[in-house]
Amino acid sequence: MGDSITLTDNRTGTTVTVPIEADDTIPSSALRQLDPNLRVYDPSFVSTASCASRITYVDGQQGVLRYRGYPIEQLAERSSYLEVAYLLIHGELPSAEELVTWRHEITVHTYVHENVKHFMQQFQYDAHPMGMLVSTVAALSTFYPEAKYIFDAEVRHKQIVRLIAKMPTLAAFAHRFSVGMPFVYPDNDLDYATNFLSMMWRVGVPAYEADPVLARALDVLFILHADHEQNCSTTAMRTVGSSHADPYSATAAAAAALYGPLHGGANEAVIRMLGRIASVEAVPAFLETVKRGEGRLMGFGHRVYKHYDPRASIVKQTADDVFAAVGTNPLLDVALALEEAALADDYFVERQLYPNVDFYSGLIYQAMGFPLEMFTVLFAIPRTAGWLAHWVELLGDREQRIARPRQRYTGAGERPYLPAGERGTGEAPDATLPPTAAAPAEARPRRL
Ligand code: CMC
The model's pLDDT over 228-240, given as tens digits with 9 standing for 90+, comes to 999 999 999 999 9
Average pLDDT over residues 148-169: 98
- Res. 426: pLDDT tops 70: no
What are the backbone dihedrals phi and psi of residue 58, each rounded to the nearest 5 degrees, phi first? -125, 130
Give the separation between CA 353 and CA 336, rounded to whole angstroms. Answer: 15
The amino acid sitting at 420 is: A
Q: Chain centroid to CA 269: how far?
A: 14
Give the separation between CA 284 and CA 397, rounded to whole angstroms. Answer: 50
pTM score:
0.92
Integer CA distances (angstroms), 128 to 177, 268, 373, 397, in order: 10, 12, 6, 36
What are the backbone dihedrals phi and psi of residue 24, each rounded to the nearest 5 degrees, phi first? 65, 30
Long-range contacts of 126-130, Cβ-Cβ distance < 8 Å, separation of 24 or more:
126/178, 126/445, 127/174, 127/177, 127/178, 128/373, 129/171, 129/174, 129/175, 129/177, 129/178, 129/373, 129/374, 129/377, 130/174, 130/255, 130/258, 130/259, 130/265, 130/373, 130/376, 130/377, 130/380
Q: Is 158 in the pocket of ligand 1 (CB under 6 A)?
A: no
Tens of pLDDT, residues 266-290: 888 999 999 999 999 999 999 999 9
Looking at the DSSP bridge assignments, the partners of residue 355 are 300
- Res. 429: pLDDT tops 70: no
Q: Is 296 in the pocket of ligand 1 (CB under 6 A)?
A: yes
Short-list 309, 312, 297, CA closest to 262: 297
In this predicted structure, what is the pLDDT of residue 133?
98
- Res. 148: pLDDT tops 90: yes
Q: Is 311 in the pocket of ligand 1 (CB under 6 A)?
A: no
> Closest Cα to atom 34, ligand 1: which residue?
302
Domains in the chain: ranges and CATH: 4-40 (no CATH), 64-258+386-395 (1.10.580.10), 266-367 (1.10.230.10)
Show Cβ contacts of residue 2 under 8 Å, excluding neighbours closer than 6 positions: 19
Task: Kindly state the DSSP code that residue 145 receives in the 8-state scheme.
Answer: G
Give the separation between CA 383 and CA 389, rounded to whole angstroms. Answer: 10
Helix (H) or strand (E) holding 276: helix 266-277
Task: Output the CA angle 167-170-174, nearest 5 degrees.
Answer: 135
Q: Is 263 in the pocket of ligand 1 (CB under 6 A)?
A: yes
> Closest Cα to atom 27, ligand 1: which residue?
303
